[in-house]
Structure 1
C-alpha cells in the first residue's frame, strides 16, 4: 500500500532523533525551516516516559536481574555488560525483532525510540584537535579530513554553551579546552593519583573528565543541575545531563516549526535525476506497514553511523546503482570504533578516615600522551589512547563472609571497605577500507528491508597499542605507590565501545569520499550526513560532541543554501 503525503511541503527532513538528529532539528527549526523529524521507534517524552528513573534496587523484582527469555531477546545488546537489566532494558532493541548479521563479530548496540542513545550515552565530551584532523594526511593513511580545528571550534563553543559541560581547562593543544562550568570533584584517592602523576611524568595529566552534566549557576531552560544520583541511564527527570529529550527537541518544538513522527522507518531517499537532487524520503510505518512519501528541500541523515549508511546504500537508482552518492565506492567502508577494556586496577592504603558524598556520575580522565609529534612520545604504532577511571571504597557487601557472624558481621557492615582504583583505556582504530558493513538482500527484516552484515576487526596496530595501554596503566599505578596492581586486557570487538564511526566519510575528493567539508553528499548536495558515519578517522576522544558540532554547522550551512535558492 503506497500513499503520497502531499498535504505539507517541508523545508527539511531529519532522520533520527538522537545526539545529531536533535541538534539538526533544533538549528533548522530555530532558523525558520518547517522540519519533519522522523524516528523509527516509539515516542518518548521527557520525564513522563522514564519509568524507572526514581526506583531503588529493592523495588525491582530479583534486584534488576531479568529472566532467560528476556536475556535471549537482547543477547547482542547484552554484550556491553549493562543492557539487559530491569532498570534500563527498555532503552535497548529486541535483537530478534531487529536482527543483523556478522561475518566477524560486531556489537551493534541500538535504542529505537525518540532520543535514541542520547538517553543512555556516556556523556564524556571531548574536543578533537588538529593532531587528529591532520593525522591521516601526515601519515598517508586513508584520506585527509576536509576540515581543521578552526572550522569546527566556534561550533564546539555553541554546543557547549547550550548543553552545559562541566570540566577544567588544561591548556593542551591536542585536547583543546572548551567552555566549561565547574568540574565535579576528584575524591581523595584520585587527587593523590593526580599528584603522583604530575610528579612522576612531564607530559601526563589527570583531570576530572569533561561531561555534559549541569553544574554551577548557568541557567538552562527546563533543566537543573546534576543531583549526583548516577542513575543517568534510566533517564533524568532533572535534565541534569544532556539528552535530545531534555534539551534540543524541546527547543525545536518551541519554535512551532517541528513535526515529530515516531514509528517511521526510512526505507530510502528519493532522487530526482533531472534536478540531480533528493526530493524526499520513502517511509514505512512501523506499526501499520503502510508506505508513505514525504518531500522536502533538504534531508539530514542522523540515524547513527550504521543506519544512515544503510539508508544511503538502499537508496538505489539508475544514477546511483550502488547507493545514493556512492560514486567513490567508499560507502559502507572504513568502519571504526574505539577499542577499550584494557587497563589496570589496584588497592590503595591509607585514607581510611576519608569518604565521599553522593554518587558522582563522572570519572577522571588522563589525556593522550603517545605519538604527539615529537621523538619522545613516538611509539612503534600509530595514533594514541587516553584513560578513564575512578576510585571508590567497597561497600557493605565486603562484610559478607562465611566466617563473619553476630557482632563481628554487624560491625563490618557499618564500616566502608578498602579503597580501590581502576582505569580503562580508549584507543583509536585506524580507518581500514576492508572494515565494512553491507546489506544482505537475502535476509530481510519484518518490514521487507535488507538486514546489515558486519565484516570488521581490530588489527595489528590496535593490538600493539593495547599492549602499551595495559603496560602504562600498570606502570602509572605502581609509580603512584598503589598496592596489588593488576593489569587486564580483555577481549574487545568493534561496536563494543558504542562509538561506531565511518562508512560515509568526509573528504576533499568525490572519487575517494562520500561527503564534502560541509557534510553534504558530494553528488547530491541537499543530502547531509552528520552522525558518526561522516568521520574520516577515529581519534581517541569520545565522539558525540563532534557529531553535535558538525550537525549544528551543517544545519546552518543548509539554511544558507535554501535562502540562496540553491536547492
Structure 2
C-alpha cells in the first residue's frame, strides 16, 4: 500500500501481539500500518543460521567474547544467543537502558520484523480462573476485569490458527487447548510420569504444550507451513514454518489481504493526542537509520511493542493533558512490573534404559502444572504457585566438547551414547504484582534517537523467596520418587527479565482510578488506543504468557473493529 493511504489502524510492533493484530484487522478489511523498530526480516530468506553445522561457522556457533563484552553483555545471557542467532538480538551498546542502583534487570529483545516470535521457546499454555481470579482472591494487585469464560473462545480461535501440539488432561488449573498430536515422551519420561504421579497423586507430568505443527491443517498448509522436522534449531528461524512466528504465519496472512503496509526501522517516539476530541490521532516516528521524524495518522492505535516498549512509548507521550504519561490519570502507568522467577530446580541420573535412545532432536519437553495453593491448603507457605519444565536426555558425541581425549579410542567411545540418562526439572514461579516494581523514564539519559531511556526498578520479595525454597525442595522430591541417583539441586540468581516473560506496567482493571486499561485492553482515558502485549497484564500466573497475549489481542481487535463500524472510535 502507498504511504499516503488514510490508515484505519496503526499497529506498533510486529511480534507475537502485533502480528496477530495486523492479521485480524487486515482480514476485517481495515487499512493497517504496522510499524516495527527492528530491521526487515523475510521468512526463510533472512534465517542466516539455519541448517549451519557448528563446524561450518567461523566461531563454531559461539560468539567472540570481545564482541559480547562490547555489544551484547545483556543479550548474551539468553539461552538462545549464539553465532547462528546473534542477528536476531538487539545490540545492547546501541540500545541502552537504565537499572536502579544495586539491582539487576535483563531486558532481552528482538531486533527485527517478527520480534521475539522468531526466538521464543514456543511453550503455550492457557490460563484458568485460578489465574484470572487470583488478585481478587488473595488481595494482591487489582482484580482482572475478565475471567476464563471471556477468553476461552479466543484461545480456541488462536490455537486453531497457530497450531499447538499437546495432550488433553482435563486439569482445572490448566485448561486444555485445541491440540494437534503431542510430541512423544521418551521412555524415561513415561517411566518418570508413572512413578511421580504414583508418589504424588496431585501432581501431573504431561507433554509440553508447544506451538509446533505436528499435523498441519489446510489453513496452515496454505500459508506454506509444514510439520516439525525435529531439528531443534528453532531460534535460528524455520523455513518449514513448523513453529509459530509472526513472520511465517500472521504477517503473511495479513499481507495476503492487500490491506497491510509494513515499515521496518521505524521507532515510535510518542502517541499524538487531540485534546479537543479526547482521542489519539496517530504516532510520531523516528527512522532508526536516517533519524528522520515522521507522523502517521489513523483512527485506532494498537500498542504491541512488548511490555517495556509499550510502557516506554506511553510514558514518553506527555502533554499538557497527560503530564505524567499517556492515559495515566490513574498514576499506575509503569507500575506492577513482573517476570517469572526461574533458574531453580534439580537434576539427576536416571538408572535403567541403557539399551534405549531417541530419534531426532525434539524441540520440546515435559511439563508439570502448578499443584500448590489450588484452594485446599490450610497452611500455605506462600501465595500463588509454580510449575516445572524439563525432560530427559542421553548425551551423544557432544559430551566430548571441551573435554579430554583424542584419537581412535575417543572416536569409538563417541559412537555410543553416554552411559546413563539424565532427568532435569526447572521451576517457573509467579511474582506478585507490587507497585514498587516499576518502570520510569530516566531524567537525563537518552538513547541514540534522543528518546529517554527506560529506568527499571524491580526485585523479588519475601513471597518469591519462600516459593523458591519449595520449588527446589519439590523438584528434588519428585526426582527421588522417580528413582534418580546423584541428584543435584541447583539455584542461580533470579535476575528479573531473564525469563523473558515481562508483564504489567499498563494493567487492565475495572476501576479507571487504579488501572490504565479496561477489560478489552482499551485505555480508560483514550478510547481509540489499545495495548495488547504483556503490559496489559494485572498478574502473571506461572504459565508462559504468549498464547494469552495473542488471545487477548484477537479479542480486542474484534471489539475495536465492531466499535469502529458503529462509529464510536472514529
CA apart distance, 1:405: 6.3
Partner in structure 1 of residue 386 of structure 2 = 385
Relative to structure 1, is the Cα distance of residues 382 and 400 closer, same or farther in structure 2, using a 3 angstrom cutoff? closer
CA apart distance, 1:265: 0.6
Match of 2:18 among 21, 27, 37: 21
CA apart distance, 1:325: 0.5
1:362 aligns with 2:360: no
Runs of 4+ that moved beyond 3 A: 397-411
Structure 1, gaps ≥5 residues long: none
CA apart distance, 1:286: 1.1
Q: Is the 8 A contact 2:521 2:536 kept in 1?
A: yes
1:25 and 1:467 map into 2 onto residues whose CA distance is 43
Q: Is the 8 A contact 2:338 2:431 kept in 1?
A: yes
Matches within 5 A, 1:240-255: 240-255=242-257
Q: Is the 8 A contact 2:213 2:226 kept in 1?
A: yes
Provide TM-score, normalisation by structure 1.
Answer: 0.97
1:61 aligns with 2:63: no
1:75 aligns with 2:77: no
1:402 and 1:26 map into 2 onto residues whose CA distance is 49
1:370 and 1:40 map into 2 onto residues whose CA distance is 41
Matches within 5 A, 1:94-109: 94-103=91-100, 104-109=103-108
Partner in structure 1 of residue 114 of structure 2 = 115
1:405 and 1:322 map into 2 onto residues whose CA distance is 65
CA apart distance, 1:216: 2.1
2:411 and 2:551 map into 1 onto residues whose CA distance is 53
Match of 2:28 among 5, 25, 31: 31
Q: Is the 8 A contact 1:370 1:383 kept in 2?
A: yes
Partner in structure 2 of residue 318 of structure 1 = 320
Relative to structure 1, is the Cα distance of residues 148 and 412 closer, same or farther in structure 2, using a 3 angstrom cutoff? same
Partner in structure 1 of residue 178 of structure 2 = 179
Matches within 5 A, 1:527-566: 527-566=529-568
Q: Is the 8 A contact 1:400 1:409 kept in 2?
A: no
2:205 and 2:121 map into 1 onto residues whose CA distance is 19
Q: Is the 8 A contact 2:344 2:472 kept in 1?
A: yes
2:254 and 2:136 map into 1 onto residues whose CA distance is 38
Partner in structure 2 of residue 159 of structure 1 = 158
CA distances 1:382-419 after superposition (whole Å, capped 9, x unpaired): 00000000111112254689986666434322211021
2:380 and 2:514 map into 1 onto residues whose CA distance is 29
Matches within 5 A, 1:236-385: 236-375=238-377, 379-385=380-386
Provide TM-score, normalisation by structure 2.
Answer: 0.96
Structure 2, gaps ≥5 residues long: none
2:5 and 2:348 map into 1 onto residues whose CA distance is 61
Partner in structure 2 of residue 199 of structure 1 = 198
2:206 and 2:18 map into 1 onto residues whose CA distance is 30
- 3-state SS in 2 of match to 1:43: coil
Q: Is the 8 A contact 1:399 1:412 kept in 2?
A: no
Q: Is the 8 A contact 2:163 2:216 kept in 1?
A: no
CA apart distance, 1:61: 1.4
Q: Is the 8 A contact 1:456 1:494 kept in 2?
A: yes
CA apart distance, 1:218: 2.5
Q: How many residues align?
A: 561
CA apart distance, 1:538: 0.8
- 3-state SS in 2 of match to 1:421: strand
Relative to structure 1, is the Cα distance of residues 422 and 565 closer, same or farther in structure 2, using a 3 angstrom cutoff? same
